[in-house]
A and B are shown apart, each in its own frame.
Chain A
Amino acid sequence: MRSVTDWELIEQAKSGQIDAFDHLVRRYEAPTINFCLRMVGRREDAEELAQETFVRVYRHLNRLEPRAKFSTVLFGIARNLSLNHIRNQKRRGRDMTTSLSNQEGDEMPVLDDSQRPDQAAHIDELRELIEKALAMLNTDHREVLVLREMQGLDYSAIGEIIGCRPGTVKSRIARAREQLRLRVLELGGDVL
């Protein structure tokens, strides 16, 4: 059976079916929290930002039009809220220096059964370094990498979210990749 599209759920929510919006929240809660988490670095803050993202979508429900993918609209709002949060933190003298993997309550990567234990341990180590290295990147670089590598968005969708042409996204991702590689090498030496 065909699953209901995001925009169909939005239409249903517009007509007062709040369960449809609940369905959307269920569909996007994990990607939204994940995105915010990688942007701001603290689980608690990420959940607050994700919640505010959904609240804003709902508040502006009647103005939403299916001109782009719903995920583009959602991540656009989450991104703006995350950037504002980061600015506030900077102004208050707090920065994103804590690595995600150092926080209590964060899930460690799950082992894939098909991996040999040594391979799995190697990937775990690499992921841990990547989390730390990501937190060291500037916001511009971090956001494009998260949108591309973790959310799987294409250059055009990323461009819509961050307000750049796909060509700019392409060069920014290349620079971000290189910065991330250098940081991982600094942190982990031979893991690559």
Chain B
Amino acid sequence: MKRTRRKELEDLSAYLDEESTIAPDVLQSMLRDDAELSTRHAQWAKISQAMRTMPETEVHPAFRTRTMAAIREIEPAPKTLPWRWPALGGAVLAACALAVVYLSNSSAPSLSNEPAPDMADASAVETVLTARLDASTNYISELELEYGVDVWEVDDSALEKDPTMDLVPPESVSELSELLALFESAVTDDQEVGAIVDSVDAPTALELRSLMLAYADEELYL
């Protein structure tokens, strides 16, 4: 079966990194028979060689002095934070319970002809999302309390423009929903998450960023 060009290039690249799973003689014959591939391989190899032999940037001794001075001022976090998980777990459970209640209400046949309350316009996803946002916001505040500092640096330029913003506007909920889905399925795909963060309005972006960092922190340290 003929291999696609993309596969050939990937194998060739892996071959340069000594990570190829293809037999070397197969790759050698590919290079012999395909002049374009051979040129590309030679250019890749040249670039690779130049990059691998780039001298490391010299580090000024002041860097370590500064870093160690900053480190001496902090205490390492304890191994476990027993209060944090129940709090977070409780918030998630509450959100799930809300969703179940809401779903069962919205799917049950109505016994009266009264119009549904306004709340019914919102989807169950939005309800869960709102609850999760609250939970996350609390969680972030708890982290800040725990460390006594901002665990992450919040981009406050948006706040300067609109000091009244402190709530996520309802129209942003679907964007948040999309982002949270991304967190759960591919939390580390930052490029994708970044694209969404860049596409939403400033208040939403702030919320998203906080959520993202909370998730990233968990991913890294647990």
Contact B157 A92 (CB under 8 A): yes
In the complex with contacts A29-B59, A30-B59, A33-B57, A58-B216 CB distance below 8 A: no
Judge whether B194 is part of the interface by a CB distance below 8 angstroms.
yes
How close is A46's CB to chain B, nearest CB, in angstroms? Answer: 8
A171 to B17, alpha carbons, bound, how many Å? 12
Number of chain A residues whose Cβ lies closer than 8 Å to a Cβ of chain B: 70
Name the B residues within 8 Å of A145 (CB-CB). 51
Residue of B nearest to A178 (CB): B9
Which residues of B have CB within 8 Å of A83? 190, 194
| B2 at interface, CB cutoff 8 A | no
Q: What's the Cα separation between A43 and B198 when bound, in Å?
A: 25
A30, B60: Cα distance in complex, Å: 10
* Residue pair A63, B77 in contact (C-beta under 8 Å): yes
User: Which residue of B has the minimal Cβ distance to A152?
Assistant: B52
A-B pairs with CB below 8 Å: how many?
170
Considering only CB atoms, which chain A residue lies closest to B56 in the complex? A30
Interface residues of B in 182-197 (CB under 8 A from A): 186-191, 194, 197
The residues in B between 115 and 158 inclusive whose CB is less than 8 angstroms from any CB of A are 147, 152-153, 155, 157
Is the CB of B38 closer than 8 A to any CB of chain A? no
Residues of A within 8 A of B186 (CB): 163
Provide the main secondary structure of the chain A interface. helix
Mask: chain B, 63-105; 1 = CB below 8 Å from A; 0 = not: 1101110111010111110000000000000000000000000
Number of interface residues, chain B, beta carbon within 8 A:
61
Decide: B56 and A59 in contact? CB cutoff 8 A. Answer: no
Whether B157 lies near A91 (C-beta < 8 A) is yes
Beta-carbon contacts of A74-117 to B below 8 Å, as 1s and 0s? 00110010011001101110000000000000110110100000
Task: Decide: A51 near B67, CB < 8 A? Known: A150-B54, A155-B17, A192-B46.
Answer: yes
Contact of B51 with A150 in the complex, beta carbons under 8 Å: yes
Q: A123-B50, A149-B48, A150-B51 are in contact. Are A107 and B58 (CB under 8 A)?
A: yes
Quick one: which of A60, A63, A84, A163 contacts B189, CB cutoff 8 A? A163
For A29, what are the chain B residues with a Cβ–Cβ distance below 8 Å? Answer: 59, 63-64, 67
When distances are taken between beta carbons in the complex, the residues of chain B under 8 Å from A63 are 77, 79-80, 221-222
Secondary structure dominating the interface of B: helix
Query: Which residue from A43, A54, A80, A150 sits with its C-beta under 8 Å from B71?
Result: A54
Whether A87 contacts B197 by the Cβ 8 Å rule is yes
A37 near B17: Cβ-Cβ < 8 Å: no
Closest-CB distance, A81 to chain B (whole angstroms): 9
Q: How far is the CA of A53 from the CA of B194 in the complex (A)?
A: 21
In the assembled complex, the Cα of A138 lies from the Cα of B195 at a distance in Å of 12
In Å, the complex CA distance between A37 and B213 comes to 22
Shortest beta-carbon distance, A27 to chain B, in Å? 11
Residues of B within 8 A of A173 (CB): 13-14, 17
B220 at the A interface (CB under 8 A):
yes
Task: Give chain B nearest CB distance to A91 CB in angstroms.
Answer: 6
Interfacial chain A residues near B188, Cβ < 8 Å? 162-164
* Residue A26, interface by CB 8 Å: yes
Please name the residue on chain B nearest to A126 by beta carbon. Answer: B50
CA distance A130 to B63 in the complex (A): 27
Say whether B169 faces chain A, with CB atoms less than 8 Å apart. no
For B67, give its contact among A25, A62, A150, A162 (CB under 8 Å): A25
The answer to whether A62 and B78 touch (CB under 8 A), given A25-B67, A87-B194, A130-B51, is yes
Besides A25-B67, A145-B51, A192-B47, 9 more A-B contacts (Cβ < 8 Å) are: A55-B71, A61-B77, A63-B77, A80-B220, A127-B51, A163-B189, A174-B6, A177-B13, A177-B47
A-B contact pairs, 16 of them (CB 8 A): A29-B59, A31-B56, A43-B57, A54-B67, A55-B71, A59-B147, A60-B221, A76-B220, A91-B205, A109-B55, A127-B50, A130-B47, A139-B194, A174-B6, A174-B10, A180-B47
